[in-house]
Amino acid sequence: LFSSITGFRVLLGDMGAGKTSLVLRFVKGQFHEYQESTIGAAFFTQVLSLNEATVKFDVWDTAGQERYHSLAPMYYRGAAAAVVVYDITSMDSFQKAKKWVQELQRQGNPKLIMFLVANKADLEEKRRVDNEMGEQYAKENGLSFMETSAKTAQNVNELFYEIAKRVVKA
């Protein structure tokens, strides 16, 4: 049995949270210390095989800079899943992540599968957002939660695998 499930995934989050780095780690197995800030949005595809299906990931990596905020609905409106990313070393990025969740709850597809991702887990000594804070917020809002590091690859494949599983089930 071979079935292909398409549908867009979208990455949202504050500038510098690590959206591009997460998707590059997943798609190319690469990490760049000096990753350039995304302009507008970038598109990536990757195929992932689950037991029961082959999932084609079409990922829109949106730009986190405030001046691009108004473009975001174009990318999340048709999305099957959204990943809201924050940086564990920045409380500000966590606050921004909550704003994205609220916006998606108000304006996004009601069946949207949402993940809250706490990235840069390798920077434990600079942590400003406790794991429990992210976990608690995710729980209260019905989101899946994961801590990742695009740098060490911690939980990155697991994240995309989880998204694929959730999308297949939906």
Query: How many residues are recorded in the chain?
Result: 170
Yes or no: say if 95 and 63 are a contact pair by the CB < 8 Å rule.
no
| Choice from 35, 105, 109, 144 touching ligand GTP (CB under 6 A) | 35
Does 80 sit near ligand GTP (CB under 6 A)? no
Does 15 sit near ligand GTP (CB under 6 A)? yes
Strand partners, 58: 8, 45
Query: Is residue 158 classed as helix, strand or coil in its secondary structure?
Result: helix
H or E segment and range at residue 45: strand 41-49
Does 20 sit near ligand GTP (CB under 6 A)? yes
Select from 40, 14, 142, 19 the least CA-distant residue to 83: 19
* Total residues in contact with ligand GTP, by rule CB under 6 A: 24
Q: Which is nearer to ligand GTP, 87 or 108 (CB)?
A: 87
| Choice from 104, 119, 134, 163 touching ligand GTP (CB under 6 A) | 119
| Choice from 2, 34, 51, 132 touching ligand GTP (CB under 6 A) | 34
Yes or no: say if 13 and 84 are a contact pair by the CB < 8 Å rule.
yes
Does 150 sit near ligand GTP (CB under 6 A)? yes
Q: Which is nearer to ligand GTP, 41 or 143 (CB)?
A: 41
